[in-house]
Amino acid sequence: MARSNRPVSRRQAWWLLATALVASLPLTPELPLWLSLAAGITFSWRAALTWRQWHLPPRWLLVLLVIAGTVGVILQYRTTLGRTPGVALLVVFLALKLLELRAARDVVVTALLCYFLVFGQFLFTQTIPTALLAALTVLITTAALLAASDDRPPPQQLLARAGLMLAQALPFMLLLFVLFPRVQGPLWGIPQDRFSAVSGLSDSMSPGSIAQLSQSDAIVFRVKFTGEVPPQSQLYWRGPVMPSFDGRTWRVTQTMGTYRDIPYAGVGAAVDYEVTLEPHGKRWLFALELPATLPPDSALTNDYQPVARQPVRNRMRYTQRAWPRAIAGVNEPSSVLRSALALPRDGNPRTRAVSASWRAQYGDDDAAILAAAENWFNQQLLIYTLNPPLLGSDIVDEFLFDTKRGFCEHFAASFVFALRAAGVPARVVAGYQGGEVNPVDGYLVVRQYDAHAWTEVWIAGRGWVRIDPTAISAPSRINLNLAAAVPAGETLPFLARSDLTWLRELRYRLDAITNGWNQRVLGYNPQRQRDLLADLGLNEPDWRSMTAVLSVLCGAVMLGLTGWILRNRLRVDPALAAWRRFTARLAKRGIAWQPWEGPLAFAERAARQTPIHAEDIRAIAALYVRLRYEPAPQASDLAQFRVKIARFKP
């Protein structure tokens, strides 16, 4: 019977069931519930078939089920194209293929399907646990493939053999990873439907929108500073700027890509750093105020926010330079200033009255009005809290005069409103403030709960001046962190809390590992590859030289592995090797030595068949017996044996 037609044994069926389970279980969160349930039922069916040794379902039923599954996927997604529908279809086919295990060929097909599903996992996440799980799946699938050819060894032996095979493949994997010419962009760049639910800054700000973010400890970006990390109070990561106000909500009105070059001059020392930005689905590229360089493929808006050409859908890395003390916007166009003064026609009368009093007192001196405003805010004894009371229609008045409790968006919004009411151009800037240095790898990690809003005020001759009204009332938010600023007892995200030091330590380490994975493995792009190859002495490699190096190294590894495998074979007894030469020569004459045949028995048989060589054959066999089966054979015996065989020409 041909090998591929052998029936599938029970052990093979169990192996495949295990493989299919590990391959499809990690996908359940991505699949619709009905599909996971259906797959689960099919797997149980398969287990029952194997356990009870029932007959396989008839072919017409399988065809019906395949059609039903495909129609189900199409109804669910309206298409069979794309990531999730594709993976869902694969799961359908895998589950049903298990019910069709008739011959060894089906085992191989099923195992290959499982390999495919491992790719499916990577389309959804690329974290270290995913990679470990994928490695486990590959191991089990390989063991199942081994069982397809011989299912007798116990599972641990098959797994060990599969592990050995994968270990032999590992050097090639590493070589290909490091040296295969990279393409720009991530390997897993398919996701389009990924960021619908990612929380983060939005392009509008109303009371409560940033406070909401304070409950999330998701990482926004990581920063590696070339030099010292600047003090916490200077870490203002500029995000969307919001000049437009409708009485409740502040909005972005910026014109994208106004400046392709930096429109202001730097003052004082620059800060260099590298940002690794997590995908967030918007075009914003966060930069330390104020950006002195632009990341590739990006431009500056007319309010100095760097934006990329495409939404950030994959983790990206860019180097940046910042001028913390740049003077920007001295010659700001009047349209920008006009929008920085716009207010709704009415509302918040009490604040407007206070602002009017400043204008009356200081006349045209905007700087003096600013000072007065800061002073007045300080005297209002405002309280910084994550749980401000709900506000009615006049949000600025109610916050400043009645509730006096608010989060950073209340402070920034009220401050800008007050200044605009006094006729001083001002605007709200959203972004992130601060961050936390991971002592393990030195990266500064900025999380969603670092989201912040502050203000910029335009003073003639000085341009835009950053004023953080939160810092006036709650300086510890800026100098330390969120946990230090909010009153005790308010709920904070787990990671923002400052107690539980051991947990903190653990988190630092885990985060450093994750970051290392992101930077070195997932973020291994053409640039990194060039740098690494330059370090290895391969300057400015093009794809040709890289391919050449790759081929040479792969060849070297292949040789090494082959040598390692052959070492056992080369250790064959020299007498046996010579005996094989001898029998091969006789085999050409039609006298084939059977591998189980004793040497004397064979010699006797051969001698009868070619009587002219009988003497030689008997002598050679006697020497072979001397070498292999008698005690203490001498080296001279071996030499004589070899000579006799060399001279033996039947």
Which one, of 50, 145, 51, lies nearest residue 101 by Cα? 50
The sign one gets for the Cα dihedral 336, 337, 340, 344 is: negative
DSSP character at residue 294: -
**CA–CA distances in Å: residue 278 to residues 186, 219, 314:** 13, 7, 7
Instruction: Report how far residue 86's alpha carbon sits from residue 97's, in angstroms, rounded to the nearest whole number.
Output: 16
Beta-carbon-side half-sphere exposure of residue 82 (alpha carbons within 13 Å): 13
468, 511, 613, 616: the active-site residue: 468
151 binds another protein (CB under 8 A): no
Q: Is 574 in the site for another protein (CB under 8 A)?
A: no
The rounded distance, in Å, linking the Cα atoms of 228 and 271 is 9
Applying CB under 8 A, among 11, 625, 642, 644 the residue interacting with another protein is 625
CB of 153 to another protein, least distance (A): 9
For the bound state, the minimum distance from the C-beta of residue 583 to another protein, rounded and expressed in Å, comes to: 11
Q: Does 631 bind another protein (CB under 8 A)?
A: yes
**Between residue 330 and residue 349, which ones bind another protein under the rule CB under 8 A?**
none
10 Å CB burial of residue 481 (0-12, 13-18, 19+) is buried
Write down the least CB distance from residue 633 to another protein, Å.
9
The reply to whether 613 belongs to the active site is no
Name the minimum Å distance from CB 101 to another protein.
20
# residues near another protein by CB under 8 A: 19
Which residue, 309 or 628, has its beta carbon nearer to another protein? 628
Q: How far is CA 309 from CA 32, 91, 285, 425, 525, in A?
A: 34, 37, 10, 29, 19
The residue (of 112 and 572) whose beta carbon lies closer to another protein is 572
Residue 425 one-letter amino acid? P
Is position 55 annotated as part of the catalytic site?
no
Instruction: Number of helices (H) and strands (E) in the chain: give both, helices first.
Output: 23, 17
391 or 586, CB closer to another protein? 586
Contact region with another protein (CB under 8 A), list: 28-36, 134-142, 249-257, 621-629: 621-629
Instruction: Say which of 280, 408, 450, 511 is annotated catalytic.
Output: 408
Annotated catalytic residue: which of 114, 452, 511, 613? Answer: 452
Active-site residue, 151 included: no
Q: Site for another protein (CB under 8 A): which residue of 605, 618, 642, 644?
A: 605
Phi-psi region of 238 (alpha: psi -120 to 50; beta: other; left: phi over 0): beta
Angle between helices 83-97 and 104-124 (to 10 degrees): 150
Tokens in use for 113? 């399907």
Binding of another protein by 461 (CB under 8 A): no
- Calpha distance 604→618 (Å, rounded): 7
> Any contact of residue 638 with another protein (CB under 8 A)?
no
Least distance between another protein and beta carbon 601 (Å): 5
Does position 611 interact with another protein (CB under 8 A)? The reply is no
Residues 583-602 within binding reach of another protein (CB under 8 A)? 592, 594-601
Residue 504 in contact with another protein, rule: CB under 8 A = no
Q: What is the DSSP string of 433-463?
A: E--EE-TTT--EEEEGGGEEEEEEEEETTTE
Q: Residue 423 carries which DSSP code?
A: T
Judged by CB under 8 A, does residue 149 bind another protein?
Answer: no
Binding residues vs another protein (CB under 8 A): 152, 573, 592, 594-601, 604-605, 608, 625, 628-631
User: Which residues have a catalytic role annotated?
Assistant: 408, 452, 468
